[in-house]
């Protein structure tokens, strides 16, 4: 991946990953010095009921805190233990990541929700979750300012 990211750097691109951060207690060492921005989807894809004290999640938060990594607030319905909203077990995960570095958080729907076999999520509800996770000023960062910086528009 490092060699691939070196090829992306001159293009101004970033590297998107979908990984289970709770499986990587050495994530910081693995991804620390990449020459491109790293974006991790699905809030780190840590399966519930793991706690935010998981060593891999803490490594992930460290990368986000240090500005080396971005988080996509997508797929809350994929990491919850609940069959339908609300997803209360996702709230501490989202809040911990936002608190780590609100300037490195973006949001997305994950539409059209591929390879999802439980109830189809309502995208409007997925957006409304932001109100449970943070305040209005931070929501503006997540929806406007941060994507502008990451994507360069």
CA distance 123 to 50: 25
Q: Which residues are catalytic?
A: 110
The edge-to-edge listing of strands for the beta sheet with 38-40 is: 15-17, 38-40, 69-73, 105-107
∠ CA 69-129-127 to the nearest 5 degrees? 80
Contact 100, 61 (CB under 8 A): yes
- Would you state the structure tokens that stand for residue 11, as one six-digit string? 């293009």
């Amino acid at each position: 991946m490092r060699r691939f990211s070196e090829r992306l750097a001159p293009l101004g691109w970033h590297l998107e990953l979908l990984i289970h951060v709770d499986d990587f207690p050495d994530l910081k060492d693995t991804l620390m010095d990449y020459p491109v921005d790293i974006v991790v989807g699905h809030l780190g894809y840590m399966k519930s009921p793991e706690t935010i004290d998981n060593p891999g999640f803490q490594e992930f938060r460290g990368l986000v805190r240090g500005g080396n990594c971005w988080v996509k607030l997508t797929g809350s319905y994929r990491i919850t233990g609940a069959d339908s909203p609300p997803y209360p077990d996702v709230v501490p995960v989202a809040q911990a990541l936002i608190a780590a570095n609100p300037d490195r958080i973006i949001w997305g729907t994950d539409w059209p929700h591929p390879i999802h076999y439980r109830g189809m999520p309502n995208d409007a509800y997925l957006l409304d979750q932001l109100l449970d996770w943070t305040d209005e000023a931070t929501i503006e960062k997540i929806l406007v300012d941060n994507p502008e910086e990451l994507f360069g528009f």
